[in-house]
Amino acid sequence: MNCKSHYTHASKFLSVLMLVGLISGCQTIQTTQPGVVGVTRSQTIMGNHDQSARDMNQESALAYKTTIGDAQKKNQLNPDRAEAERVRRIANRLIPQVVVFRPDARNWAWEVNVIESKDINAWCMPGGKIAVFTGLLDQLKLTDDELAAVIGHEMSHALREHALERKPRVVAAQVGTIGLQLGGAALGYDIPPELANSVSMAALALPNSREQESEADRMGLELAARAGFDPRAAVTLWQKMGQAGGSEPPKILSSHPPSAERQAELRTTSQLVMPLYEEARRNGAGR
């Protein structure tokens, strides 16, 4: 057997060992409470959940700090003070509602910033690190209700720890440094060099599954409704998303594809949470 063949067999053997260890070291848990929208799916998390979550939150905070620092150096951080205040005002109405799904998230170190970019995009990293791009605001001309639907959706990915749930896919696929860096760039955040080989950061760069997207849709609408934002705006939001960009659709649609089925689900869910919205309005939310 030549050296190259020996190396190939050794690599395959190590991959099998990694997968065996991965399967044996997973936990099945519930990251969130169901809420009115009834998200009850059990999730498989690699390793010890609490430690894995802490590690991912710490690495996400570092990546967020790097992204925000880079935007600041380029004078791209919160370029319009009034717009940044608007985004934060909406997010700050949504954040208290997270206790419905997981009480501990109310105490996360939430941060909300606007980054100047033509990209139509927004995201929320694990641990509550939110970024909204000016392209989303300027090109789609979102109402407050529509913007709340975007932010609530992204927050829900973090609440459900969808990135942490994707870590086994990274290990199984053995995602390399180059793919991680490109993935991070596509989503609009910077990967610090010291995290270039991080499994957590690679998981963060992977797209969400359709099931994860559906969960974030439903939970995001409940967050919005409880905060006094009209949940029906989610339908017009995704209609605007689908119409934007012409031959080059917004980056956000690569992981959040609109469809007739999705819009139908949004309409159904919005009707389910309408009583929460009406109650919040009666209690003075948004006034």
Q: Which residues does the annotation mark as catalytic? A: 154
Tokens 């105490």 -> residue: 107
Q: Are strands 129-133 and 111-115 parallel, antiparallel or unpaired?
A: parallel
Tokens 């498989």 -> residue: 44
Query: Per-residue b/e over 31-48, b at no fewer than 16 CB within 10 Å?
Result: bbeebbbebeeebebbbe
* Radius of gyration in angstroms for the set of CA atoms belonging to the chain, rounded to a whole number: 20
How far apart are the C-alpha atoms of 95 and 87, rounded to whole Å? 12
Task: With beta carbons less than 8 A apart as the criterion, state whether 241 and 256 touch.
Answer: yes
Task: With CA atoms as reference, report the closest residue to 232 among 275, 270, 286.
Answer: 270
